[in-house]
Amino acid sequence: MEYNLKNKSIMVTGGAGFIGSHLVDRLVKEKPSNLVVVDNFFLSKESNLTEAKTNYPKLKIFNQDVGNLFGICPKCGELCKRST
Ligand SMILES: NC(=O)c1ccc[n+]([C@@H]2O[C@H](COP(=O)([O-])OP(=O)(O)OC[C@H]3O[C@@H](n4cnc5c(N)ncnc54)[C@H](O)[C@@H]3O)[C@@H](O)[C@H]2O)c1
């Protein structure tokens, strides 16, 4: 089965971690329209995403706990937080 991610919006939670950052590097090659990383950097650092930022300058990185997350707006790529 072939997947075309060109017009897709993708969010990777824990995207600065070991598996997540490698997944992000792979997804960048698919040229999605929005690619968003959500990570609280508890176990990682933003420099894990240096290559991804170079190859995909519009990468959005949110320093955010996923527990506070409601979703990503597919149109603007901004983060919608859970209301408290
Ligand atoms: N070089 C290597 O081979 C190597 C290096 C590191 C890890 N590992 C292995 O990889 C596995 C771990 O990789 P992984 O990617 O699953 O874990 P990870 O810890 O690398 O990544 C998890 C990510 O999720 C983030 N995170 C955790 N809780 C969060 C929350 N509530 N909200 C937002 N972000 C949150 C962390 O900050 C981190 O960036 C282990 O098995 C480990 O042994 C291998």
Q: 45-75, pLDDT tens digit by residue? A: 999 999 999 999 999 999 989 887 766 666 6
* pLDDT at position 84 over 60: no
Closest C-alpha residue for ligand 1 atom 26: 14
Looking at ligand 1, which atom is closest to the CA of residue 43?
37
Q: What atom in ligand 1 is closest to the CA of residue 41? A: 37
Task: Calculate how far, in angstroms, residue 8's C-alpha sits from the geometric centre of ligand 1.
Answer: 25
Contacts of 2 (CB under 8 A, 6+ apart): none
Domains of the chain with bracketed CATH = 9-83 (3.40.50.720)
Predicted TM-score of the model (pTM): 0.85
